[in-house]
Structure 1
Amino acid sequence: MSSFYVIDSDSVLIRPTTVADIPEIVKLQEESFADLAKIGNIWHPHELKSHLEIFPGGQLVAELDKKIVGSATSLIVQLNPTYADHTWESITGNGMLTTHFPAGDTLYGADISTHPRVRHRGIGHKLYQGRKDIAMGLNLKRMIGGGRLYNYCEHSEKLSPLEYAHNVLDCKLHDLVLSFDLINGFDFIKILPDYLEDARSLNYASFIEWVNPHYKQDP
């Protein structure tokens, strides 16, 4: 019998990532992103170790019954201009977070995952809230990210990436990633081409933004 079951999200603990969590996070990635795992586009132990060395305060896991069922990876950046095009590799330092800029004004969501067997139970929402708490605690202006257009491959013959995104915004289509981002208070800004090698999104992602309502600009 599976050790995963229907849960109450209140029983899930969101906490900072530790070095001891790394093997479980790698396994979580392999099971959460089976399509990307085939081409190596998931976290590897040396990358996760680098994240903890560079920005330990930006790394979170979701724990249920002492098992890791979700994780979130973040760094601080400063884009110029505000909505500059970028790729996942360029913004994350090829996954090592060497681009982390402590003096920046923006929290960047490099990755978020929940185990497939416990999705739609509020765990992803709690991880996003954990990120928002980090952004507010550090008085960052906003949080942004690039969400791959997960279901775009099913509509690419009839719709451009932007048309597809607007259909999701208008609730005419559902996208596993963008719809989830919108529910969690993000705004769609634009399409990012060549964001990440990914057969499902055809490498397209949505630039998403959440503005910190408690941000206080330095006098």
Structure 2
Amino acid sequence: MYNKEIRITGPDRQRKPVRAVIRTYAEADFDELIRIQAESFPPPYPEELLWNHEQLASHVAHYADGAICIEVDGELAGSMTSLRMQWNPAQPDNHSWTEVTDDGYIRNHQPDGNTLYIVDLCVRPKYRKWGLAQLMMQAMYQLVIHQGMDRLLGAGRMPGYHLVAEQMSAEQYLEQVVAGELHDPVISFLLRCGRMPVGVTAHYLDDEESCDYAALMEWRNPFIEVD
């Protein structure tokens, strides 16, 4: 069970540092975690894809180490969920979010999997630009190292793609974001976190802004030699 206290400052660097805690989430957090998701993913994001109590309970039951949240001065501000899976980088499959996460229930979690797969990451809008997502991502990197996995992997939404979808393919869009020629709110953030693209997956999520595409992006364990 993860529990780490740190001090952080918000976007206004003149403010005094405040107390933040990254910890495993529990049943008492479920209602607030659902509210955070609703705030973080407003329409046109499909409401049926927001967490429910049964999914959150399944996260804790199957892989509590990968179910974390962050508090700022006692208020829940965001969460991040993951599972372990076996993944062969030589044969990256074109999968959907529903397939790889067991429709968000993670009952397909493999305790000996070589890869930590990110199921979800969200931060309450009023805490954007506080660096909370990066802090939770770093906690997941630590989990990869601590449990001896090869990598962290996840499919990032490409919410800026719909603006240029008639002009280029999803692969070309990703290439231009990586090159710094275009900015994408999600993909550019993941690049800053040290994640690197390994491909594009189609029909990943019912997501109008991304035209249902997602960029598959990894972070490799620096202490393990990965082919």
Instruction: State the Cα RMSD in Å.
Output: 1.8
Deviation at 1:133, TM superposition (A): 1.0
Give 5+ residue unaligned stretches, structure 2: 1-9
Q: Distance in 2 between matches of 1:216 and 1:186?
A: 17
Match of 1:22, SS state, is helix
Q: Report what 1:207 is aligned to.
A: 216
Match of 1:109, SS state, is strand
Which of 89, 94, 117 aligns to 1:85? It is: 94
Q: Distance in 2 between matches of 1:155 and 1:10?
A: 40
Q: Distance in 1 between matches of 2:46 and 2:199?
A: 28
Q: Distance in 2 between matches of 1:56 and 1:164?
A: 35
Give 5+ residue unaligned stretches, structure 1: none
The alignment covers a number of residue pairs equal to 213
Which of 121, 126, 131 aligns to 1:117? It is: 126
Q: Report what 1:176 is aligned to.
A: 185
Q: How does 1:79-158 map to 2 (within 5 A)?
A: 79-80=87-88, 81-158=90-167
Deviation at 1:66, TM superposition (A): 1.1
Contact in 1 for aligned 2:59/2:67 (Cα 8 Å): yes
TM-score, normalised via structure 2 length: 0.89
Instruction: Give the share of equivalent positions with the same residue, in percent.
Output: 31
Deviation at 1:79, TM superposition (A): 2.1
Deviation at 1:37, TM superposition (A): 5.1
Q: Report what 1:72 is aligned to.
A: 80
Structure 1 residues 142-181: Cα deviation after superposition (integer angstroms, max 9, x where no partner): 0000111111111111111011111101111111111011
Q: Report what 2:28 is aligned to.
A: 20
Q: Report what 2:4 is aligned to.
A: none
**Cα gap change, 1:206 to 1:130, in 2 (>3 Å):** same
Contact in 1 for aligned 2:199/2:216 (Cα 8 Å): yes
Match of 1:35, SS state, is coil
